[in-house]
Structures are given as structure tokens and as C-alpha cells.
């Protein structure tokens, strides 16, 4: 799947801080590397998003959470995989103090980040090839998310570096939860 969607040119764009629109398992997303402060700030500008509100980070596997210094509660991997299989779910986790400084541009002063493993094969191909992505819905803040690539193009035009068509998507934003130290679930958004 990955080879038909992802080519060398697109790889260079993302690795160099580029931003584009991709389909996820829920909605079209404005995506860029979570490791690129430049890409993250550009997404804030494109969306006209409140700079105090952190983005959810899409990851390929639970192992990716270590890169951000996420503090995992007991039995996290098993619990998280079960939650991610049930429905699109973003899980908020605190960060270690050392990683808090490095990733301030992502957590926006909260000291914690939300992570999600999507089900979309296209999205997973991107994550496998490029690593974790910041991927908020493809729309201006407060407006209806794009359900088609054409709607995304009408919103962002030539201000993004690429578009990947995934057909019509009409999902909902992911459920947002927090797990406490012993793995109990607190639902913040359904």
C-alpha cells in the first residue's frame, strides 16, 4: 500500500517540514511531522487555531510514545490497543520532565500530549514511512471538517504542499480520554 501512495518526492516534502492533507480513519487531516516545529507552527497558522490548544499526535505503534517521553500507566499497551480497536480514541499521557522541554511546541505548556493509532491503511502507511504526525482535521478552526479532497482544496488551496485523495470521509473526531496511573479510563470527549 505504502509504495502506491508515498513516493520519494512526497517523502522529501514531509521530512523537510512540509504540510499536506491526508485521509485518516475519521476525517481528512492537515498533516505534518510531529518532529518538525516548523510544520507544526505552519499547521497552526493554516488552521487559524488557538496556539494554546495542543494537537493530537498520530503514531504507528505504542513504541513511538517513548520518543516523546510519554509516561505510561501500568498495563498501558494492552489497554491502549483494546481502546484503539473499539473506536478512534486519542489518549492523553503526561510527559517526562526532560521531554517536556523538547516538545513544548507540541504540548503547548500542558506537559501532556494526546496520541492515537489510526486504522486507515493510507494513514498507517504515512506513519510507518515518516514517523509520528500532527494531523488535526482539515478545516479552519470552528468550521466544518473537509469530507472530500475538493473541500480541503477549497479551504487551503495552494497553501499546502500536497493532497492525498481518500474519497469521501464522514467520520467524527476521535474520542478523547485520559488514563490514570492504574489504567482507569476517564472520557473527556465522546
Q: Residue 10: which pLDDT band, with cuts at 50, 70 and 90?
A: confident
Provide the percentage of residues in the chain whose pLDDT is more than 90: 58
Per-residue pLDDT, averaged over 167-190, amounts to 76
Range list of β-strands (E), the chain: 20-23, 28-33, 56-58, 89-94, 112-116, 133-134, 162-163, 175-179, 185-189
* β partners of residue 21: 30, 163
The top-scoring range by mean pLDDT among 1-10, 79-88, 125-134, 151-160 is: 151-160
**Per-position b or e across 121-151, b if 16+ CB within 10 A of its CB:** ebbbbbbebbbbbbbbbbbeeeeebbbbbeb
Query: Pseudo-torsion of CA 138, 103, 109, 90, nearest 10°?
Result: 50
Q: Which residues contact 1 (CB under 8 A, 6 or more apart)?
A: 121, 122, 125
Residue 3 has pLDDT above 50, yes or no: no
Structural domain total, the chain: 1
Residue 117, domain extent: 2-189
Best CA proximity match to 56, nearest among 85, 80, 89:
89
31 three-state secondary structure: strand
* pLDDT mean across residues, the chain: 88
120-147 pLDDT tens trace = 888 888 899 889 999 999 999 999 999 9
Per-residue pLDDT, averaged over 75-94, amounts to 85
pTM of the model: 0.89
CATH code (residue 60): 3.90.870.10
pLDDT given for residue 45 in this prediction: 97
Amino acid at each position: 500500500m505504502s509504495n502506491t501512495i508515498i513516493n520519494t518526492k512526497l517523502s522529501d516534502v514531509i521530512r523537510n517540514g512540509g504540510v499536506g492533507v491526508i485521509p485518516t480513519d475519521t476525517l481528512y487531516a492537515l498533516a505534518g511531522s510531529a518532529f518538525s516545529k516548523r510544520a507544526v507552527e505552519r499547521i497552526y497558522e493554516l488552521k487559524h487555531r488557538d496556539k494554546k490548544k495542543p494537537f493530537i499526535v498520530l503514531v504507528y505503534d505504542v513504541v513511538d510514545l517513548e520518543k516523546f517521553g510519554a509516561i505510561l500507566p501500568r498495563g498501558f499497551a494492552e489497554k491502549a490497543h483494546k481502546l484503539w480497536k473499539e473506536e478512534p480514541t486519542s489518549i492523553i499521557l503526561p510527559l517526562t520532565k526532560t521531554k517536556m522541554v523538547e516538545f513544548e511546541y507540541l504540548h503547548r505548556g500542558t506537559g501532556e500530549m494526546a496520541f492515537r493509532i489510526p486504522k486507515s491503511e493510507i494513514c498507517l502507511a504515512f506513519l510507518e514511512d515518516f514517523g509520528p504526525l500532527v494531523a488535526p482535521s482539515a478545516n479552519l478552526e470552528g468550521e466544518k471538517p473537509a469530507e472530500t479532497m475538493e473541500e480541503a482544496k477549497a479551504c487551503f488551496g495552494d497553501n499546502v504542499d500536497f493532497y492525498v485523495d481518500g474519497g469521501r470521509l464522514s467520520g467524527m473526531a476521535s474520542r478523547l480520554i485520559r488514563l490514570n496511573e492504574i489504567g482507569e479510563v476517564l472520557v473527556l470527549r465522546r
